[in-house]
Protein backbone atom coordinates (compact mmCIF):
# COMPACT_ATOMS: atom_id res chain seq x y z
CA UNK A 1 0.00 0.00 0.00
CA UNK A 2 1.35 3.43 -0.94
CA UNK A 3 1.59 5.90 1.93
CA UNK A 4 -0.49 9.03 1.47
CA UNK A 5 0.87 12.23 2.93
CA UNK A 6 1.09 15.96 2.52
CA UNK A 7 4.24 17.09 0.77
CA UNK A 8 6.03 20.34 1.56
CA UNK A 9 4.28 22.09 -1.32
CA UNK A 10 0.87 21.09 -0.01
CA UNK A 11 1.72 22.28 3.49
CA UNK A 12 2.92 25.63 2.15
CA UNK A 13 -0.20 26.05 0.00
CA UNK A 14 -2.55 25.23 2.87
CA UNK A 15 -0.80 27.47 5.41
CA UNK A 16 -0.44 30.29 2.90
CA UNK A 17 -4.14 30.32 2.03
CA UNK A 18 -5.06 30.09 5.71
CA UNK A 19 -2.98 33.22 6.33
CA UNK A 20 -5.32 35.08 3.96
CA UNK A 21 -8.07 34.80 6.58
CA UNK A 22 -9.06 38.15 8.14
CA UNK A 23 -8.77 37.39 11.84
CA UNK A 24 -11.36 39.05 14.06
CA UNK A 25 -8.35 40.11 16.09
CA UNK A 26 -5.18 41.88 15.00
CA UNK A 27 -3.10 38.72 15.62
CA UNK A 28 -3.63 35.40 13.83
CA UNK A 29 -4.44 33.06 16.73
CA UNK A 30 -3.50 29.77 15.10
CA UNK A 31 -0.52 27.58 14.33
CA UNK A 32 -0.09 24.49 12.20
CA UNK A 33 1.70 21.18 12.84
CA UNK A 34 2.44 18.72 10.03
CA UNK A 35 2.40 15.02 10.91
CA UNK A 36 2.68 12.63 7.97
CA UNK A 37 -0.75 12.43 6.37
CA UNK A 38 -2.33 15.17 8.48
CA UNK A 39 -2.13 18.90 9.09
CA UNK A 40 -3.10 19.90 12.63
CA UNK A 41 -4.60 23.24 13.61
CA UNK A 42 -3.90 24.52 17.12
CA UNK A 43 -5.23 27.54 18.97
CA UNK A 44 -2.50 30.01 19.91
CA UNK A 45 -3.57 31.74 23.10
CA UNK A 46 -0.47 33.91 23.48
CA UNK A 47 -2.33 37.12 22.49
CA UNK A 48 -4.36 37.44 25.72
CA UNK A 49 -7.45 39.63 25.47
CA UNK A 50 -9.25 39.36 28.81
CA UNK A 51 -11.69 42.19 28.05
CA UNK A 52 -12.62 41.79 24.38
CA UNK A 53 -12.14 38.01 23.90
CA UNK A 54 -12.13 36.46 27.39
CA UNK A 55 -13.37 33.01 26.32
CA UNK A 56 -11.35 32.97 23.05
CA UNK A 57 -14.58 32.90 21.04
CA UNK A 58 -13.29 35.26 18.38
CA UNK A 59 -9.96 33.44 18.29
CA UNK A 60 -11.61 30.07 17.65
CA UNK A 61 -13.89 31.59 15.00
CA UNK A 62 -10.82 32.94 13.21
CA UNK A 63 -9.22 29.50 13.46
CA UNK A 64 -12.32 27.97 11.88
CA UNK A 65 -11.95 30.27 8.87
CA UNK A 66 -8.27 29.26 8.65
CA UNK A 67 -9.31 25.60 8.73
CA UNK A 68 -11.75 26.24 5.87
CA UNK A 69 -9.10 27.93 3.75
CA UNK A 70 -6.44 25.29 4.39
CA UNK A 71 -8.85 22.51 3.45
CA UNK A 72 -9.85 24.45 0.33
CA UNK A 73 -6.21 24.82 -0.72
CA UNK A 74 -5.62 21.07 -0.46
CA UNK A 75 -8.79 20.22 -2.38
CA UNK A 76 -7.82 22.73 -5.08
CA UNK A 77 -4.52 20.86 -5.47
CA UNK A 78 -6.33 17.57 -6.04
CA UNK A 79 -6.30 15.99 -2.57
CA UNK A 80 -9.12 13.94 -1.12
CA UNK A 81 -9.35 15.05 2.49
CA UNK A 82 -11.18 14.48 5.74
CA UNK A 83 -11.60 17.31 8.25
CA UNK A 84 -11.83 16.29 11.91
CA UNK A 85 -12.95 18.93 14.39
CA UNK A 86 -11.65 18.72 17.97
CA UNK A 87 -10.20 15.22 17.39
CA UNK A 88 -8.86 14.87 20.96
CA UNK A 89 -11.34 16.06 23.61
CA UNK A 90 -8.58 15.92 26.22
CA UNK A 91 -6.55 18.44 24.16
CA UNK A 92 -8.85 21.47 23.62
CA UNK A 93 -6.13 23.51 21.93
CA UNK A 94 -6.11 20.98 19.05
CA UNK A 95 -9.02 22.47 17.14
CA UNK A 96 -8.88 20.35 14.03
CA UNK A 97 -6.89 18.24 11.66
CA UNK A 98 -7.01 17.71 7.92
CA UNK A 99 -6.18 14.17 6.84
CA UNK A 100 -5.17 13.24 3.31
CA UNK A 101 -7.07 10.20 2.07
CA UNK A 102 -5.78 10.13 -1.50
CA UNK A 103 -5.85 12.12 -4.71
CA UNK A 104 -8.48 13.16 -7.23
CA UNK A 105 -8.85 15.45 -10.19
CA UNK A 106 -9.09 19.05 -8.90
CA UNK A 107 -12.60 20.50 -9.07
CA UNK A 108 -12.70 23.81 -11.00
CA UNK A 109 -15.00 25.34 -8.38
CA UNK A 110 -12.45 24.68 -5.64
CA UNK A 111 -9.69 26.29 -7.70
CA UNK A 112 -11.89 29.33 -8.35
CA UNK A 113 -12.70 29.68 -4.65
CA UNK A 114 -9.03 29.35 -3.69
CA UNK A 115 -8.11 32.12 -6.13
CA UNK A 116 -10.93 34.22 -4.68
CA UNK A 117 -9.57 33.72 -1.17
CA UNK A 118 -6.27 35.29 -2.20
CA UNK A 119 -7.77 38.38 -3.82
CA UNK A 120 -10.71 38.83 -1.47
CA UNK A 121 -12.11 42.37 -1.18
CA UNK A 122 -12.62 43.40 2.45
CA UNK A 123 -13.98 46.86 3.22
CA UNK A 124 -15.00 48.26 6.60
CA UNK A 125 -16.29 51.47 5.04
CA UNK A 126 -19.73 52.17 3.59
CA UNK A 127 -20.59 50.23 0.47
CA UNK A 128 -21.97 51.53 -2.81
CA UNK A 129 -25.70 52.35 -2.55
CA UNK A 130 -26.87 49.62 -4.95
CA UNK A 131 -28.57 46.79 -3.03
CA UNK A 132 -27.36 43.22 -3.30
CA UNK A 133 -29.83 41.37 -5.59
CA UNK A 134 -32.23 39.04 -3.72
CA UNK A 135 -31.05 36.10 -5.80
CA UNK A 136 -27.49 36.49 -4.54
CA UNK A 137 -28.71 36.75 -0.96
CA UNK A 138 -30.60 33.49 -1.38
CA UNK A 139 -27.45 31.87 -2.74
CA UNK A 140 -25.19 32.98 0.11
CA UNK A 141 -27.41 31.38 2.73
CA UNK A 142 -26.46 27.95 1.36
CA UNK A 143 -22.70 28.30 0.76
CA UNK A 144 -21.77 26.33 3.90
CA UNK A 145 -23.28 23.53 5.95
CA UNK A 146 -20.94 24.19 8.89
CA UNK A 147 -23.32 26.77 10.43
CA UNK A 148 -26.55 28.60 9.65
CA UNK A 149 -26.29 31.74 7.51
CA UNK A 150 -29.29 34.09 7.53
CA UNK A 151 -29.92 37.43 5.82
CA UNK A 152 -31.17 39.84 8.49
CA UNK A 153 -33.71 42.54 7.59
CA UNK A 154 -36.41 44.71 9.12
CA UNK A 155 -36.93 44.74 12.88
CA UNK A 156 -34.36 41.99 13.35
CA UNK A 157 -31.75 44.23 11.73
CA UNK A 158 -32.71 47.06 14.09
CA UNK A 159 -32.39 44.72 17.09
CA UNK A 160 -28.99 43.57 15.88
CA UNK A 161 -27.81 47.15 15.46
CA UNK A 162 -28.96 47.96 18.99
CA UNK A 163 -26.93 45.05 20.34
CA UNK A 164 -23.78 46.24 18.55
CA UNK A 165 -24.29 49.82 19.72
CA UNK A 166 -24.71 48.70 23.34
CA UNK A 167 -21.62 46.46 23.16
CA UNK A 168 -19.54 49.34 21.82
CA UNK A 169 -20.72 51.53 24.70
CA UNK A 170 -19.86 48.84 27.26
CA UNK A 171 -16.39 48.34 25.82
CA UNK A 172 -15.80 52.09 25.62
CA UNK A 173 -16.44 52.41 29.35
CA UNK A 174 -13.20 50.69 30.38
CA UNK A 175 -9.64 51.64 29.58
CA UNK A 176 -8.60 48.00 29.18
CA UNK A 177 -11.29 47.31 26.58
CA UNK A 178 -10.42 50.44 24.63
CA UNK A 179 -6.76 49.41 24.52
CA UNK A 180 -7.59 45.90 23.30
CA UNK A 181 -10.06 47.08 20.71
CA UNK A 182 -7.65 49.66 19.32
CA UNK A 183 -4.65 47.35 19.29
CA UNK A 184 -6.16 43.96 18.55
CA UNK A 185 -9.48 44.36 16.72
CA UNK A 186 -9.75 44.07 12.99
CA UNK A 187 -12.41 46.75 12.72
CA UNK A 188 -12.45 50.42 13.55
CA UNK A 189 -16.06 49.97 14.66
CA UNK A 190 -18.06 46.76 14.82
CA UNK A 191 -21.51 48.34 14.68
CA UNK A 192 -23.21 47.26 11.41
CA UNK A 193 -24.14 50.24 9.26
CA UNK A 194 -27.31 50.57 7.23
CA UNK A 195 -25.40 50.29 3.96
CA UNK A 196 -25.09 46.79 2.60
CA UNK A 197 -26.79 43.58 3.66
CA UNK A 198 -26.26 41.87 7.00
CA UNK A 199 -25.63 38.14 7.26
CA UNK A 200 -25.88 36.49 10.66
CA UNK A 201 -23.92 33.29 11.22
CA UNK A 202 -25.43 31.23 14.02
CA UNK A 203 -25.18 27.73 15.46
CA UNK A 204 -27.49 25.38 17.41
CA UNK A 205 -25.02 25.23 20.32
CA UNK A 206 -22.51 27.65 21.82
CA UNK A 207 -19.46 25.50 22.52
CA UNK A 208 -15.97 25.42 21.03
CA UNK A 209 -17.01 23.26 18.08
CA UNK A 210 -19.82 25.72 17.32
CA UNK A 211 -17.34 28.61 17.26
CA UNK A 212 -15.05 26.61 14.96
CA UNK A 213 -17.95 25.83 12.61
CA UNK A 214 -18.99 29.49 12.56
CA UNK A 215 -15.48 30.35 11.39
CA UNK A 216 -15.66 27.75 8.64
CA UNK A 217 -18.91 29.32 7.47
CA UNK A 218 -17.24 32.74 7.53
CA UNK A 219 -14.44 31.44 5.29
CA UNK A 220 -16.98 30.09 2.81
CA UNK A 221 -18.97 33.36 2.78
CA UNK A 222 -15.88 35.48 2.13
CA UNK A 223 -14.75 33.32 -0.81
CA UNK A 224 -18.26 33.30 -2.28
CA UNK A 225 -18.55 37.08 -1.90
CA UNK A 226 -15.34 37.66 -3.85
CA UNK A 227 -16.52 35.43 -6.69
CA UNK A 228 -19.78 37.39 -6.78
CA UNK A 229 -17.89 40.71 -6.97
CA UNK A 230 -19.00 41.78 -3.49
CA UNK A 231 -17.05 43.28 -0.59
CA UNK A 232 -17.51 41.93 2.91
CA UNK A 233 -16.61 42.76 6.48
CA UNK A 234 -16.98 40.52 9.58
CA UNK A 235 -18.26 42.07 12.83
CA UNK A 236 -18.54 40.33 16.20
CA UNK A 237 -18.31 42.82 19.07
CA UNK A 238 -21.93 42.35 20.18
CA UNK A 239 -21.33 38.65 20.70
CA UNK A 240 -18.29 39.14 22.94
CA UNK A 241 -20.43 40.77 25.65
CA UNK A 242 -22.78 38.35 27.47
CA UNK A 243 -25.55 40.94 27.87
CA UNK A 244 -25.70 41.93 24.19
CA UNK A 245 -25.13 38.37 22.97
CA UNK A 246 -28.18 37.29 24.99
CA UNK A 247 -30.20 40.22 23.61
CA UNK A 248 -29.34 39.28 20.00
CA UNK A 249 -30.13 35.64 20.70
CA UNK A 250 -33.55 36.58 22.07
CA UNK A 251 -34.58 39.44 19.78
CA UNK A 252 -33.08 38.27 16.47
CA UNK A 253 -33.17 34.47 16.74
CA UNK A 254 -36.04 33.98 19.18
CA UNK A 255 -33.74 31.96 21.45
CA UNK A 256 -33.73 29.21 18.79
CA UNK A 257 -29.98 29.44 18.03
CA UNK A 258 -26.78 31.17 19.15
CA UNK A 259 -25.45 34.20 17.22
CA UNK A 260 -21.72 34.00 16.45
CA UNK A 261 -20.89 36.85 14.07
CA UNK A 262 -22.25 39.21 11.44
CA UNK A 263 -20.88 39.75 7.95
CA UNK A 264 -21.63 43.05 6.21
CA UNK A 265 -22.01 42.46 2.49
CA UNK A 266 -22.29 44.96 -0.37
CA UNK A 267 -20.88 46.34 -3.58
CA UNK A 268 -17.45 47.97 -3.27
CA UNK A 269 -17.74 51.75 -3.41
CA UNK A 270 -15.56 53.64 -5.88
CA UNK A 271 -12.80 55.53 -4.07
CA UNK A 272 -11.54 58.81 -5.35
DSSP 83-98: EEES--TT-TTEEEEE
pLDDT in tens, 193-218: 445 899 999 999 999 999 999 999 99
For 62-71, what is each residue's pLDDT tens digit?
Answer: 999 999 999 9
Which pLDDT does position 211 carry in this prediction?
A: 97
Determine the pLDDT at residue 188. Answer: 41
Residue 3 has what pLDDT?
52
H-run or E-run covering 108: helix 108-119
Mean pLDDT of the chain: 86
- Which stretches in the chain have pLDDT values below 50? 1-2, 178-194, 272
Domain boundaries in the chain?
Answer: 8-119, 134-266
Under CATH, which number does the domain 8-119 receive?
A: 3.40.109
Q: How far is residue 263's CA from residue 124's CA, in Å, rounded to a whole number?
A: 10
- The pLDDT value given to residue 35: 87
- pLDDT at site 195: 56
CATH code reported for the domain at 134-266: 3.40.109.10
Q: pTM for the whole thing?
A: 0.90
| Cα atoms found within 13 Å of the Cα of residue 212, Cβ hemisphere only | 19
Residue 261's beta-bridge partner residues?
A: 201
Q: Judge if 8-119 and 134-266 fold alike in CATH terms.
A: yes
Per-residue pLDDT, 201 = 98
- Per-residue pLDDT, 74: 96
- 154 φψ region: left (φ > 0), alpha (ψ -120 to 50), beta (else): left
Amino acid sequence: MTDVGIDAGGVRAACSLADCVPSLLAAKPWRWNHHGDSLQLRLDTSPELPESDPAARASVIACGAALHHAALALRAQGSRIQVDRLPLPEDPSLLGQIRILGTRDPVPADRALARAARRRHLDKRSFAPMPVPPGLLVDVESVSDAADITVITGEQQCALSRAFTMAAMIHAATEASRAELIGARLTERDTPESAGSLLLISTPTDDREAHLRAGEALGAVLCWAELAGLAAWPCNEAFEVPRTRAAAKREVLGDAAHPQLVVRLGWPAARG
